[in-house]
Amino acid sequence: MLKKITGQFIETSRNSIDTEFWSQICHYMSGESGPSYLSGWITTFCVFDGEGNWQATKFSIPGSQFSSYGQQQKLDFPVIDTSDIPPGYITVNVIVDDNGEEHKTLMFAGHMGYNVVQEGKGIAPKLAWAIALKGEK
Please tell me whether residues 107 and 80 are part of one structural domain.
no
**CA-wise closest residue to 132 among 107, 109, 112:** 107
Please tell me whether residues 74 and 104 are part of one structural domain.
no
Please tell me whether residues 94 and 130 are part of one structural domain.
yes
Please tell me whether residues 25 and 68 are part of one structural domain.
yes
Please tell me whether residues 131 and 100 are part of one structural domain.
yes
Please tell me whether residues 98 and 78 are part of one structural domain.
no
Please tell me whether residues 104 and 126 are part of one structural domain.
yes
* Domain tally, the chain: 2
* Range with top average pLDDT, 30-39, 97-106, 110-119: 97-106
Please tell me whether residues 70 and 105 are part of one structural domain.
no
Torsion-angle region of 52 (φ positive above 0: left; ψ -120 to 50: alpha; else: beta) = left
Please tell me whether residues 53 and 92 are part of one structural domain.
no
Least confident among 65-79, 85-99, 106-120, 122-136:
65-79
Residue burial 60-88, b: 16+ Cβ < 10 Å; e: rest = ebeeeebeeeeeeeebebbbbbeeebbee
**CA-wise closest residue to 89 among 60, 130, 59, 136:** 130
Please tell me whether residues 74 and 101 are part of one structural domain.
no
Confidence of residue 129 (pLDDT cuts 50, 70, 90): very high
Residue 45 sits in which domain range? 1-86
Residue type, 35: P
Task: Examine the fold and report which residue of 86, 110, 125 is the final residue of a domain before the chain moves on.
Answer: 86
Residue type, 107: M
Q: How many CB atoms lie within 10 A of CB 47?
A: 17
Please tell me whether residues 95 and 105 are part of one structural domain.
yes
Using the Cα atoms of residue 71, residue 42, residue 88 and residue 113 in order, give the sign of their dihedral: negative
On the question of pLDDT at 16 being above 90, the answer is yes
Kindly report whether the global pTM for this prediction surpasses the value 0.85: no
Please tell me whether residues 116 and 130 are part of one structural domain.
yes
Encode pLDDT of 26-36 as tens digits.
988 887 788 88
